[in-house]
Chains A and B, each alone.
Chain A
Amino acid sequence: MVENDYKVRLEIFEGPLDLLLYLIKKTEVDIYDIPIEKVTKQYLEYLQLMRMLNLDIAGEFLVMAATLMLIKSRMLLPAEERAEQQARDETEEEEPRWALIRQLVEYKKFKDVAAHLGKRELMQEQVFPRHGGGEIETGSAELPLGDISIFDLINAFNETLKRAARRENLREIFEETFSVSDKLEEILWTLSEKGAVRFHDLFAHAASRGEIVATFLALLELIRLKQIRARQRVHFGEIEIVKAAA
């Protein structure tokens, strides 16, 4: 029996909400009337199991465990204190139990839509337009860099770094960190506004080497993802970054 139980539980869950929905469905209760104690217990058991199997437990699963325990602890309060707590909740924030239920209901709706989309995807796979399903677009795949090579890019990057080194001495140094994903979004944003941008302009406002490096890494990542293309009109000329054709 135990084995069987484990098999079911080892389904891959998309996240803590998904796991909770599964547990609620399994115990056959109304989503608005979750037996918090029971569900919390099962939830923690599941985490335990994941740990035993050395699976990575995403931080979100732990946050949810804490939320469940908070809700559980509140429900153990004597009735008067609970009312008091509730009054306080109303003035401050939503009661955690309701917040969770609302989140679950909302999530479930999207999960249902996702299932619907999945079905449509399968259906759509069986349908072919006259040119045989968009398979004709090749070409750009082999040339992710557009018209220039990675070496051209690195070269340009090097120059930018040198320029920055000269500038850096004259500036105050700010303690600021830049993540590649921030830069990634920034580049995409710039391109969606302007359509094209010169390589050096991307770095024009960079204040530090760290920022330049982050920007450059973001650039490479976007080229890999085929979101953008780098091109050069003349050999060794200015490199231009453009949005990849959709």
Chain B
Amino acid sequence: MNIKPIIEALLFAARKPLSPKELRAVFTGGGDEKPDPALAGYKRVKEAEIAGAIEELKVDYINDDRSFMVAEVAGGFQIVSKPDFGPWLKRLLNVDRPQRLSPSALETLAIIAYRQPITRNEMEAVRGVNVDGVLRTLLERGLVKITGRSGLPGKPIQYGTTQAFLEHFGLRDLEDLPAIEELRRLEAKKQQAVPPPAPAAEPPAPPTPLPSGGNP
């Protein structure tokens, strides 16, 4: 049997996104006393084949105009409904007012996502405001976690984003964030203390330097 329908069944029944690695483990896994003979013959399935089958599934759903799709979230694959059906599903599942993140929470989260591991002070340096409250909310919602301690004096705690963060925003991984390379570079630049962009952009000369004793 082709592995595509098997993978489809696995994705269909799974409660969480499955990574190609996890999917492969289903094929290659052993240890059962009396393995089902049906399982034999798939022992050598490779991750690349699995990834290929998933791609085919994605295309199938699009071609058949199904109401669901294969989404790539947090390093795994998951069958989800298409956004067009949100209004009905929300009613069915009784989701009325989802708790959306505040602008300050989103800002802080963006900074953490790009600059992790990052300390509280470093976040505040970018935002120009205290982040205590916001950080607490983000921890509380499981979008951010403590990742370790920085080597700076006082060994401040460092924070990073979680799997739940990727899931919340439907991101494949951190590379899925816009302009991640650029924003990271900006950071690298700052650390090297590169001089400001260009003196060419100097202020357009002060509005006529005060003529001393200009009074008649």
Q: Mark A residues whose CB is within 8 Å of B.
A: 14-17, 32-33, 36, 58, 60, 64, 75-76, 78-79, 94-95, 97-98, 101-103, 106-107, 109-118, 120-133, 135, 181, 185, 188-189, 192, 225-227, 246
Contact = CB atoms under 8 A, between A and B. Distances in A.
Interface string B156-196: 11000011100011110000011100110010001000001
Interface string B186-216: 1000100000110001011010011000000
Contacts of B21: none
Contacts of A32: 197, 201
Interface centre among A16, A118, A246 (most CB of B within 10 A): A118
A135 B93 contact: yes
Nearest to B169: A120
Given A106-B186, A127-B82, A226-B140, A189 B168 contact: no
B48 interface: no
B209 A107 contact: no
Contact of A15 (B82, B127, B210): B127
Interface of B: 12, 14-15, 71, 78-87, 89-90, 93, 95, 98, 100-101, 103-104, 106-107, 109-111, 113-114, 126-130, 132, 136, 139-140, 142, 145-146, 148-149, 156-157, 162-164, 168-171, 177-179, 182-183, 186, 190, 196-197, 201, 203-204, 206, 209-210
Given A33-B201, A131-B15, A225-B140, A103 B128 contact: yes
A188 B127 contact: no
Contacts of A227: 139-140
Given A60-B129, A113-B179, A225 B136 contact: yes
A246 B93 CA distance: 23
B183 A113 contact: yes
Nearest to A60: B129
Contacts of B15: 130-131
Nearest to A14: B104
Binding site secondary structure of chain A: helix
Contacts of A15: 127-129
